[in-house]
Structure 1
Amino acid sequence: MHHIRRREWAFLALIVLYSFIPSVFGLLRIPELLGGPMIIPPNPRAVIDPLPIALHILGSSIFCLVGALQFLPSLRRHRPALHRTLGRIVAAAGCVSALTGLWMTVSYAFPDALQGPLLYWARVTLSLAMVAFIVWAVVAIRARETAAHRAAMLRAYAIGQGASTQTALLLIGMIFMKTEPLGLNRDLLMVGAWAINLAVAELFIRRVFATRRQPAAISSGP
């Protein structure tokens, strides 16, 4: 880890800070799901069917926090074996996160104020898309298509980090609306968070990845 540069440490700190609220609050619910004391207000759906939400919390936390390490150039360059090992863990955790998210969307009964048709179908679509991107990334790296692998994992990561952006947007919505956003307003904020994440990911892919490929393309010319 001593090979990681200061700028990369700053990136990791930013990811941990950005993921803090959804990750920590999720992990604080684990004791409740295991039959221990309630540290935060109870979730009736979690009490009735705790397995999917427990797996979702663990999978999402690993995917978001450990997954951030996978984007560090220094780690890939100096510790490739560690990068590959963490990659397997992150890919598995991402699939667990996405599939349990789909499980909860389909099986849990949400009141209309917390999930309307827009949010329901967004969750179903993006859960399947996240798994597809992770599978695509695995297939690409086995074919030694590094750029396609990184792009697919970044898109999956953007979906997986949806809860962090949703938390930020909901807090902003509460400030302006003076109350918790519910119904269609909540659906729009939740879906908008994923749209923002994916837009940023696409911008990064087109600007940064394209710039890194350009010298190779020039040098391979006649």
Structure 2
Amino acid sequence: MRFLSRRDGALLAGLLILSAVPVLGGMLRMVELLGGAALAPPNPRALAQPLPVILHVLGSAAFCLLGAVQILPSLRQSRPGLHRVLGRIAVLGGSVSAGSGLWMTVAFSFPEELQGGILFALRILLSLWMLWLILRAVVAIRRRDIARHWAAMLRAVAIGQGAGTQTILGLGALLVTGQELLGFERDLMMGSAWALNLAIAEWVIRKVSDAPTSKVMRHV
């Protein structure tokens, strides 16, 4: 990938690794829902209402994988046409991901140990915020406000990548405690993953915005 700088290549690799487990898990679930073999642990909610799950898997995969590519400065500079094409697909995927996530949160009946009141509220809030951020990014780029467009997309990607960070934190807790987090502890872990992603995004945005104007326009 010669059009990527070494720093952007490392960032892309990290984001793709972060996306790998939830995307793979989602694809295995989709195989089952489309009539294939059951390759993932049983999920009665998905089997009862497969459509939002399928939409969420496809939308999330597109947004996480393409969103990781879209935030790379060197791609925008060296392949602006490709950046625009992938950006349109990422916007569609992110909108489907957030919308279907909101649908599942409201329509599915989760056991208390898998989704308490805190996680329910966070999922609704973050789904709506992600949709708003994507809309804001589209409006900004139409106005040629590249910095605002990039910042909005980076925040949306941080929310969309929540499942990857949640997987890492959940596995870490399992290794330390020997048991899966449930109830309030699970809600707290899931929320902490989104908070961590958004904190990193805000740090990157602040770092870029504090740079000289010419440097900002070169890196966003």
TM-score by length of 1: 0.93
Q: Deviations over 1:147-183 (max 9, x none)?
A: 1101110111110000011111111111222211000
Separation in 2 of the partners of 1:32 and 1:134? 30
Which amino acid in structure 2 is aligned with residue 119 of structure 1? L
Cα distance in 2 for partners of 1:84, 1:163 equals 26
Partner AA of 2:103 in structure 1: W
The residue that corresponds to 1:199 in the other structure is: 199
For residue 211 of structure 2, give the secondary structure of its aligned residue in structure 1.
helix
- Give the C-alpha shift of residue 216 in structure 1: 7.6
Measure, in 1, the Cα distance between the counterparts of 2:112 and 2:92: 32
Residues 141, 149 of structure 2: 8 Å contact kept? yes
State the shift of 1:9 in Å.
2.3
Identical-pair percentage: 53
**1:174 match:** 174
> How far, CA to CA, are the matches of 2:216 and 2:102 in structure 1?
40
- Greater relative contact order (Cα < 8 A, sep 6+): 2
Partner Cα distance (1:50, 1:210) in 2:
46
Counterparts of 1:1-222 in structure 2, within 5 Å, are 1-211=1-211, 213=213
SS in 2 for 1:63: helix
Secondary structure of 2:36 counterpart:
coil
Give 3-state SS (helix, strand or coil) of 2:210's partner.
Answer: helix
Structure 1 residue 41, shift from structure 2 partner: 1.6
What is the Cα-based RMSD across aligned positions, in Å? Answer: 1.5
Instruction: Structure 1: give runs of 5+ residues left out of the alignment.
Output: 218-222
How far apart, CA to CA, are the structure 1 residues paired with 2:129 and 2:61?
A: 19
Measure, in 2, the Cα distance between the counterparts of 1:164 and 1:132.
Answer: 22
Where in structure 2 are there 5+ consecutive unaligned residues? none
Cα distance in 2 between the residues matched to 1:161 and 1:106 = 21
The one-letter amino acid of 1:202's match is: E
TM-aligned CA deviation for residue 11 of structure 1? 2.1
Q: Following TM superposition, by how much is the alpha carbon of 1:212 offset from its aligned partner in structure 2, in angstroms? A: 5.0
CA distance in 2, matches of 1:2, 1:146: 24
Q: Which amino acid aligns with 1:118?
A: I
Distance in 2, matches of 1:21 and 1:131, equals 23
Query: 1:25, CA displacement in angstroms?
Result: 1.0
CA positional deviation for 1:13: 1.7
Deviation at 1:40, TM superposition (A): 1.7
Q: CA deviation at 1:215?
A: 5.7
1:168-208: CA deviation from partner (whole Å, max 9, x where unpaired): 11111112222110000000000111111111111110012
Q: Taking structure 2 as the reference length, what is the TM-score of the superposition?
A: 0.94
Partner SS for 1:2: coil
Distance (whole Å) between structure 2 residues aligned to residue 215 and residue 132 of structure 1: 27
* Separation in 2, partners of 1:101, 1:140: 25
Which structure's CA Rg is the greater one? Answer: 1
Instruction: Tell me the SS of whatever aligns to 2:40.
Output: coil
AA in 2 matched with 1:72: L
Structure 2 Cα separation of the partners of residues 76 and 215 of structure 1:
14
Q: Secondary structure at the match of 1:180?
A: coil
